[in-house]
Amino acid sequence: MIGIIARPADHHAVREFFELFKTPWEFHRSGQRYEVVLCADAEHSGIVSADLILVYAGERRPGDAEASIQIDGERAGTVLSYRGHRIPLYGKSLTFHAEGIGLRDEASGGSVACVARTGDTISIRIGYDLFREIRVALTVGQPPARAGLPSVDLHIALLRDLILQSTVAPLVEIPPMPDGYPFIACLTHDIDHPSIRRHTWDHTMLGFLHRAVFGSLLDVARGRASVRSLLTNWMAALKLPLVHAGIVNDFWYEFDRYLQIEAGLSSTFFVIPFEGDPGRTRWGAAPGRRAARYGARDISDRLQRLMSAGCEIGVHGIDAWRDASRGREELDEVARITGASELGVRMHWLYADEDSPATLEKAGFAYDATNGYNETVGYRAGTTQVFKPLDAIRLLELPLHVMDTALFYPRHLHLSPKDARTRVGNIVADAVRLGGTVTVNWHDRSIAPERLWGIFYADLVEELKRQHAWFATAGQAVAWFRRRREAVFEAVSTEFGTLRARVSVAGDEHLPGLRLRIHKMRHSRRSGAFAARAADDYVDIALNSSIDAHIPLSEQRAAAPLPSR
């Protein structure tokens, strides 16, 4: 059990952090002895009793001088290095005149942690404010320059490592990995331009012609595209008058081809509810080109086909992020077509601010899938996991990690297919290591001329299959994480060489189960060693319903891990 001491203002961040790091914890109770006490209140000076005391603070504390801790320097907005990983910080941090645990400031090389021992108690002073870092990531979000660093997940990994290397008690957790799978893959599609026939000499039409005729030629000259794609785009441009005349098929009104590429895998399509409404920004009217040339009713036949194939339909919101009453109108419009009792939302152009989760929740949405970048790929909220925004009560956020336009558009990353594979491959590798989700957004027209990004998308889907991901709709992924959040550690104790773990979990035959992960005891507190952990230093038990497990600690190594390991 971890006892937490934190400022009241940080309690929301504490609760959410320990939904992401799903392990037994409680707010510290005076007089109670814990295996671990984590103190993140710089003003706290009370007596605590624990095998391991972790003190997080990015500023000098009164207790630092009493503990003879020598501070070398103070910084803000730095990056830490720890065993090959980079952990970005957005608040203040300290370095210490002491050898610590290998946690260092990347710029100065100074130690950002120091270790002390008093009798049987180990104390580690970490020079940054953990829960303020979590609050920044989950509310303000990470800047694009640090998009590739899953900061929240790395803070969890560091804390886990400190506990495992400093205590003799086993650590239990429910990792963000479905039973039998290493992570979740969410394939999503924003329907922005389902029909080119609806565009006549507007911004979208002129952009299509420019990119199809001239942009394609330039891409071939630079080695970024094939001659075949060039000819396909030129032919599409030549056919455009025939498309408008109704003589040949509308090559954008074929976004249901995703059913072939995904070959029965469930995916989610976000549909714009109303035609011709650009919505508003925080400062006034949004640009006119944000308005869609269709509404959900115009493509209801295609939506019915997608739903019949097992796909989910969500709302591609216009003003829902800033106006709950407008959000309810948008939700009701799509609900009338789909018949769904619950709908998720992703805002058009990813419009959002710190107040939008509460607004979307008030409008009645089951989840939001907006948290991501237009200009890059990665972890805006610093995590692979579905999380609850700190001001929300029940609404959960499915973070967006990979978007096609961010990868390939000239005004964004403008990557070659080879470089894009590397960038996306890093995100998939993070998910294999950390769990959580890889959420992909491939727009409706991205498999059609002039983009022709279908081959890259098909290759990405095959790579996710090779990594044995569970393919889920956005709603299914959120439901799985909601089930994990609702799991309760009713009792965890160690007596007479046996670990007892009683966990309450609601059953759901439509979703994969959870895992109960038991990290093996391997540290001798007298040795003081902080050695690297082996990859198989834990065992997993399938957690499909409530259990009361009694596990002999001497037999941990005999337990078989799940097949996905």
Q: Quote the CA–CA distance of 407 and 405 in Å, as a whole number.
A: 5
Q: What does the pLDDT read at residue 530?
A: 46
> Residue 121 domain-assigned?
yes
What CATH number is associated with residue 335?
3.20.20.370
Which pTM does this prediction carry? 0.93
> Residue 563 domain-assigned?
no
Q: What does the pLDDT read at residue 554?
A: 61
Strand partners for 132: none
Q: Are residues 151 and 214 in the same domain?
A: no
- Examine the fold and report which residue of 481, 500, 519 is the final residue of a domain before the chain moves on: 481
Tokens found for residue 88: 């970005």
The span from the first CA to the last CA of the chain, in angstroms, equals: 26
What CATH number is associated with residue 51?
3.40.50
Q: Quote the CA–CA distance of 515 and 499 in Å, as a whole number.
A: 16
Q: What does the pLDDT read at residue 7?
A: 94
> Residue 61 domain-assigned?
yes
Q: Quote the CA–CA distance of 513 and 53 in Å, as a whole number.
A: 34
DSSP tag of 469: P
Q: Quote the CA–CA distance of 125 and 127 in Å, as a whole number.
A: 6
Question: What 3-state DSSP class applies to 75?
Answer: strand
Tell me the pLDDT of the chain (565 aa) as tens digits. 899 999 999 999 999 999 999 999 999 998 899 999 999 987 776 778 888 999 999 999 888 887 888 888 999 999 999 999 999 999 999 999 887 789 999 999 999 999 988 878 899 999 999 999 999 999 999 999 999 999 999 999 999 999 998 877 789 999 999 999 999 999 999 999 999 999 999 999 999 999 999 999 999 999 889 999 999 999 999 999 999 999 999 999 999 999 999 998 999 999 999 999 999 999 999 999 999 999 999 999 999 999 999 999 999 999 999 999 999 999 999 999 999 989 999 999 999 999 999 999 999 999 999 999 999 999 999 999 999 999 999 999 999 999 999 999 999 999 999 999 999 999 999 999 999 999 999 999 999 999 999 999 999 999 999 999 999 999 999 999 999 999 999 888 877 677 888 899 888 888 999 999 998 765 444 444 444 444 458 889 999 888 887 877 664 443 333 333 2
Q: Are residues 465 and 499 in the same domain?
A: no
DSSP secondary structure of 145-194:
GGTT--HHHHHHHHHHHHHHHH-SS-EEE--SS-TT-S-EEEEEEEES-S
> Residue 382 domain-assigned?
yes
Q: Are residues 200 and 273 in the same domain?
A: no
- Examine the fold and report which residue of 214, 233, 251 is the final residue of a domain before the chain moves on: 251
Q: Are residues 236 and 262 in the same domain?
A: no
DSSP tag of 444: G
Q: Are residues 539 and 459 in the same domain?
A: no
**Over 470-500, what HEC string results?**
EEECHHHHHHHHHHHHHCEEEEEEEECCEEE
Q: Are residues 324 and 289 in the same domain?
A: yes
Beta-strand relationship, 538-543 and 514-519: antiparallel
> Residue 173 domain-assigned?
no
Q: What does the pLDDT read at residue 533?
A: 47
> Residue 506 domain-assigned?
yes
Q: Are residues 18 and 124 in the same domain?
A: yes
> Residue 175 domain-assigned?
no
Provide the domain limits for residue 85. Answer: 2-167
> Residue 179 domain-assigned?
no
Q: Are residues 244 and 364 in the same domain?
A: no
Domain count, the chain: 4
Task: Find, among 186, 144, 194, 184, the residue nearest to 443 by Cα.
Answer: 194
DSSP tag of 386: -
> Exposure of 212 by Cβ count < 10 A (0-12 exposed, 13-18 middle, 19+ buried)?
buried
Q: Are residues 461 and 505 in the same domain?
A: no
Q: Are 519 and 537 in contact (CB under 8 A)?
A: yes
Q: Are residues 399 and 467 in the same domain?
A: yes
Q: Are residues 224 and 354 in the same domain?
A: no
- Examine the fold and report which residue of 462, 481, 500 is the final residue of a domain before the chain moves on: 481
Q: Quote the CA–CA distance of 439 and 175 in Å, as a whole number.
A: 18
Q: Are residues 271 and 417 in the same domain?
A: yes
